[in-house]
Amino acid sequence: MSELVQANELRRLSVSLVSIRVTTPKTTSKRLKSPVKRLLVIVLFACLLGLVVGYVLQRRYVDSYRNRTLWAQAQGEMGQIHKSLLVFADEHEGRHALSLEEMSDTFYVSTELPKDPFSGQDYFYELTATGFRLTCLGKDRLPGGDEIPDRDIVYDEKGLVGE
């Protein structure tokens, strides 16, 4: 009987050891996975937040700076075209060019005629009763506009209009 008791004790002890071995790695792996999962979620959330913040900052500041720079570029290019138009008129007994192409064909500009940086097309040019009018409508491509880069840039035979 004592051998039977010892055998039962041995089985109970081995079953409890097996259950310890089986449960210990499971609880340890759960403990390890839980912080790793949390860290992974935090890192993914931080990346997503970084993308959203970067997009917002780009739209607000970088695009605004870029558009202001394009507006200043257009104003400078139009100033050069204005000077070339005046030279053309001087050399043609006061007659203004009928179109920007006519002026560019006679090499009054050093390179190819600059294009409107907002549309990629030629600046608007028209003859008036007193001379000519050279216009860039700005970023919004609509007449008017209160603030740069939406404000129109207009040159006539006297120079920059509005300054």
Per residue in 8-56, pLDDT (tens digit) is 676 665 655 445 554 444 555 555 567 888 888 888 889 998 888 888 8
Using a cut of 0.85, tell me whether the model's pTM lies above it: no
Determine contact, residues 86/65, Cβ cutoff 8 Å.
no
Determine contact, residues 68/149, Cβ cutoff 8 Å.
yes
The larger pLDDT score, comparing residue 151 to residue 63, is at 151
Task: Specify the pLDDT at position 88.
Answer: 87
Determine contact, residues 96/131, Cβ cutoff 8 Å.
yes
Report pLDDT digits (tens) over 98-143.
Answer: 888 887 766 555 667 888 898 888 899 999 988 899 999 888 887 8
Structural domain of 153:
2-160
For the cut 80, the answer to whether the pLDDT of residue 96 exceeds it is: yes
Mean pLDDT of 147-160: 87
Q: Based on the number of CB atoms within 10 Å of its own CB, is 1 exposed (0-12), middle (13-18) or buried (19 or more)?
A: exposed
Determine contact, residues 138/145, Cβ cutoff 8 Å.
yes
| Number of structural domains the chain divides into | 1
